[in-house]
Amino acid sequence: MNFTETDEQVALRAAVADLGRKYGYAYFTRQARSGGRLTELWQEAGKLGFIGVNLPVEYGGGGAGLYELSIVLEELAAAGCGLLMMVVSPAICGTILARFGTPEQKQRWLPRIASGSAIMAFGITEPDAGSNSHKLTTVATRDGDTWVLSGRKIFISGVDEAEAVLIVGRTADTKTGKLRPALFAVPTDAPGFSFQPIDMDIVTPEKQYLLFLDEVRLPADALVGQEDAALLQLFAGLNPERIMASAMAVGSARYALDRAVSYVKERTVWSVPIGAHQGLAHPLAQVKIELELARLMMQKAAVLYDAGDDMAAGEAANMAKYAAAEASVRTVDQAIQSLGGSSMTSEFGLAAMLANVRTTRIAPVSREMILNFVAQHSLGLPKSY
C-alpha cells in the first residue's frame, strides 16, 4: 500500500492544474450561460495528451490508467472547469473499446477519442426503464449483414458534440428468444437517428438529449464486443464512469472549499475575520475531512480497477460515487453559507455549482441504487425489487 503519488502523477496533476487555471470557472459559467461549449479547453487538453491518458499507447493514448484519468478530471474540476464528457468518451467508451473492441474498431475510434478530436457519448437511460436497466426496450434485430436498432433514450449528455453514441440495446437470443444487453456504436448522423435537447435547470455547457432510434440500420461491426458477454463489458465501462463522476464531484467541491476558505480569511464583520469563528471554521474542517475520505475511496477504486480487479473495483467505485456525491453537496452548501449573500451572485457561481454537484446524487447511478448494491452485495441482505 502506498499513498504517495509517483513523480509522473504529481507532474500530471500540476500540468493539468496549470491548464485548468488558464480557463477556470469564469470560462465554464460564461460558456454554459451563453449556450456555448468547452471546445477550446477540450481540444487543448486533447493536444496535451490529457483526454486519452488512460488509453493504450498503440492507439494514441498515454498508456497510463484510470487513476491518471481521474487526476485529469479532478484537477480540471478543482480549477472550476471540469469536462463532463471525460466521464463518457475516454472513460466509458474508450475503456470498453480498448478492452473489448475488434482491432478495426480500436483503430477507428481510439486514436481520435484519445486526441479529443472525436467524442463518443453513452446512452443507457430510457424514459420507461430509468434505474431498472433490465427493462431496456431499445432492441437490435439482425437483418442479413446488418443490425436494425429501434428505441428511445433520455438524458444523454453531449450528443450534439458527439460523432457517435455507444448505445446499450438488447438483442434476442436466437435459441431462447430472451433479450440480453448488447452495445452498439451508433453514428449521430445515421439515418433514423435523431435527438432533441431537454430543457434542464442546471448551468452546464454539456446539454442532455432525448434520442429517437427509428429503425437505424447499422453494419455488423457496429456491435462492440461480444453479443453474449455484453453485461461484463458494460460493467467494465460503468466502473470507470462512477470513478470519474467521483473525480468531477471531488474536484468541484475542492474548488468551492478553496473559494470559501479564501473568503472567510479576508471577510471581517466583527473584529476578526469570519473564519476565526468556530461556527464557520468547524463545518469547513468537517467537509474537508469528508472530502478527503471520499477522495481516498475514489483513489482506491481507481487503483483496484487499474490492477484488473473488476469485482473489488465495482464495490469501491459505488462507495466512492456515494461518498463523493454526499461530500461534494455538503461542501458546496457550506461554502455557500460561508460567503453569505455573495454566494448567490453570478460572480461566485456557487448556487449553480450546488445544483451541478447535487446531480451526482442521481447520475450516473442514484444514491439509492448504490445503497441497494451495498446492502445486497456487501452485506448479503435480500433484494426488495
Ligand X SMILES: Cc1cc2nc3c(=O)[nH]c(=O)nc-3n(C[C@H](O)[C@H](O)[C@H](O)COP(=O)(O)OP(=O)(O)OC[C@H]3O[C@@H](n4cnc5c(N)ncnc54)[C@H](O)[C@@H]3O)c2cc1C
DSSP state of 87: I
Burial of residue 55 (number of CB atoms within 10 Å: 0-12, 13-18, 19+): buried
Q: Least distance (Å) from ligand X to the CB of residue 38?
A: 15
Q: Which three cell numbers stand for residue 70?
A: 481521474
Cα–Cα dist 112/114, whole Å: 5
Confirm or reject binding of residue 53 to ligand X (CB under 6 A): no
Helix/strand/coil percent split, the chain, to 5: 55, 15, 30
In the list 208, 246, 252, 334, the residue contacting ligand X (rule: CB under 6 A) is 208
Q: Which of 199, 262, 203, 239 is nearest to 81 (CA)?
A: 203
Using the contact rule CB under 6 A, the part of the chain among 37-45, 153-161, 172-180, 374-382 near ligand X is 153-161
Alpha helices in 267-365 (DSSP H): 278-306, 310-339, 350-359
Q: Least distance (Å) from ligand X to the CB of residue 384?
A: 7
Site string for ligand X, 95-124 (x = CB under 6 A): ---------------------------xxx
Site string for ligand X, 61-100 (x = CB under 6 A): ---------------------------x------------
- Residue that has been written with the C-alpha cell 477540450 in this structure: 42
**Residue of minimal CB distance from ligand X?**
130
Q: Which three cell numbers stand for residue 211?
A: 434520442
In the list 362, 373, 374, 375, the residue contacting ligand X (rule: CB under 6 A) is 362
Confirm or reject binding of residue 211 to ligand X (CB under 6 A): no
Cα–Cα dist 172/170, whole Å: 7
Using CA atoms, how far residue 252 sits from 34, 48, 65, 168, 209, in Å, is 21, 22, 22, 29, 24
Nearer to ligand X, 115 or 366 (CB): 366
Q: Least distance (Å) from ligand X to the CB of residue 202?
A: 6
In the list 6, 39, 131, 141, the residue contacting ligand X (rule: CB under 6 A) is 131
**Which residues of this chain interact with ligand X, rule CB under 6 A?**
88, 122-125, 130-131, 155-157, 208, 359, 362-366, 368-369, 372, 385
